[in-house]
């Protein structure tokens, strides 16, 4: 190696003149010497995050995750076809075929569903980034679907960096009931999954729900709707305004209601 990497005294002939510091400097060489380059690469290798085994392990874990996801979906489709006794293969399984058989077509349908979920996650991520550490208002609406299962829609209202007010739908959550504790826990789960904090949330003023104006406006009892919480507010407002008249009507129904069911219902409401 000549003077590029020092002398061979350190590797074959031995070295005993430790008082000669120049020998060490000659062995080390300049910045680009073999010694310094080997030392630098050794330091790189000893760094845990840059170690070869760590990098390989990280790549292996990612591949294992993808492999397990594909395997699980394949097993689900196989179980479904076996349970229903349906054929796996189709008459034409080529790439250009419109029907490649149940096994491949079901896998394609699940894959498209996964893609939609990925798009949804990207949309939610962009909403979170747009809000940042700023405040937002929470809009929650509860309704029941066709199967009479309770569900809660969650919308965020906030002001973007350009000063525009935006309302963005972030999720539809199924809940077992509409109690305050259940709804709070559901909202908390949505906030946690989207990296949002309750400290950023600001409540809307009750005055934003108008009940009508005018001196000659007629006030009547309003039936509470199933899909809008604002209708419950209107119902309670009209009930407070007509409370005395409602008591008079219930007293009359209790005494002259006719059917036993009406009498009992009016008596229970009065109590």
Residue 83 confidence class, pLDDT cut points 50, 70, 90: very high
Model pLDDT, residue 216: 45
CB atoms near residue 6 (< 10 Å)? 20
How do residues 169-228 score in pLDDT, each as one tens digit?
988 888 887 777 888 888 888 888 888 888 888 775 444 444 444 444 456 666 666 556
Model pLDDT, residue 82: 93
With a pLDDT cut of 70, the percent of the chain lying above it is: 80
Whether 190 contacts 171, CB under 8 Å: yes
CB atoms near residue 209 (< 10 Å)? 14
The pLDDT of 245-271, averaged and rounded, is 85
Domains of the chain (ranges; CATH) run 8-46 (no CATH), 52-127 (no CATH), 136-204 (3.10.450), 211-271 (no CATH)
Residue 27 pLDDT greater than 50, yes or no: yes
Residue 75 pLDDT greater than 80, yes or no: yes
DSSP state of 224: P
The overall average pLDDT reported for the chain is 79
Residue 68 confidence class, pLDDT cut points 50, 70, 90: confident
| Top-confidence residue, 110 or 4 | 110
Whether 102 contacts 88, CB under 8 Å: yes
Residue 78 pLDDT greater than 90, yes or no: yes
Model pLDDT, residue 133: 86
Buried (b) or exposed (e) across 152-175, using 16+ Cβ within 10 A? bebebebeeeeeeeeebebbebeb
Q: What is the DSSP string of 59-104?
A: HHHHHHHHHHHHHHHHHHHHHHHHHHT--S--S--STT-S---HHH
Which of 118, 122, 183 lies closest to 150, judged by CA? 183
| Top-confidence residue, 172 or 147 | 172
3-class SS of residue 174? strand
Model pLDDT, residue 219: 60
Residue 145 confidence class, pLDDT cut points 50, 70, 90: low
């Amino acid at each position: 190696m000549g003077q590029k990497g020092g002398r061979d005294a350190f590797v074959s002939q031995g070295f005993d003149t430790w008082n000669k510091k120049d020998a060490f400097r000659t062995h080390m060489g300049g910045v680009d010497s073999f010694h310094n380059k080997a030392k630098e690469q050794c330091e790189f290798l000893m760094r845990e995050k840059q170690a070869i085994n760590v990098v390989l392990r990280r790549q292996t874990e990612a591949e294992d995750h993808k492999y397990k996801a594909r395997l699980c979906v394949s097993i689900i489709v196989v179980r479904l076809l076996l349970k229903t006794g349906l054929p796996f293969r189709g008459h034409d399984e080529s790439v250009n075929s419109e029907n490649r058989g149940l096994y491949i077509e079901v896998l394609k349908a699940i894959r498209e569903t996964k893609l939609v979920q990925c798009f949804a996650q990207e949309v939610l991520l962009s909403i979170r980034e747009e809000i940042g550490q700023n405040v937002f208002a929470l809009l929650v609406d509860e309704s029941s679907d066709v199967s009479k299962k309770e569900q809660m829609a969650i919308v965020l209202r906030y002001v973007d960096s350009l000063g525009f007010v935006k309302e963005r739908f972030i999720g539809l959550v199924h809940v077992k009931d509409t109690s305050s504790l259940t709804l709070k826990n559901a909202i908390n789960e949505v906030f946690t999954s989207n990296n949002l904090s309750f400290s950023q949330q600001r409540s809307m003023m009750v005055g934003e729900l108008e009940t009508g104006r005018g001196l000659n406006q007629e006030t009547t009892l309003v039936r509470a709707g199933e899909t809008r919480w604002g209708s419950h507010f209107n119902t309670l407002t009209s009930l407070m305004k007509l409370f005395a008249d409602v008591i008079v009507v219930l007293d009359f129904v209790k005494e002259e209601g006719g059917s036993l069911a009406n009498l009992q219902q009016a008596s229970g409401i009065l109590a």
